[in-house]
Amino acid sequence: MTRPKTDYLWVGVFAVLVTFAVPWFLWRDATTWVGLPVWLWWHVGWMALASGAFYLFTRGAWDRGMDVGREA
């Protein structure tokens, strides 16, 4: 079974999402913005980005991976 190039692209996208999910570079940083720590804003933004990526993933790659729409 051969995989389309987009499947390998999704592997890279999710690897980046997992790698930067924890903002190691913001540890011990007490900077605040709008009353909340910057690291908390990072998590809010990162979850929005991850949600958007997963939404796009479910529009194509998920169906291909689960063989949805193929008849046996």
Q: Residue 20 domain-assigned?
A: no
Structural domain that includes position 57: 38-63
**What tens digit of pLDDT does each residue of 21-69 get?**
888 887 788 888 898 888 889 999 999 999 999 998 888 766 665 565 6
Q: How confident is the model at residue 18 (pLDDT cuts 50, 70, 90)?
A: very high
CA distance 63 to 56: 11
User: Which has the higher per-residue pLDDT, 4 or 53?
Assistant: 53
**Structural domains in the chain (count):** 1
Residue 16: predicted pLDDT: 93
Q: Residue 52 domain-assigned?
A: yes
Q: Residue 53 domain-assigned?
A: yes
Q: Residue 59 domain-assigned?
A: yes
Q: Residue 33 domain-assigned?
A: no
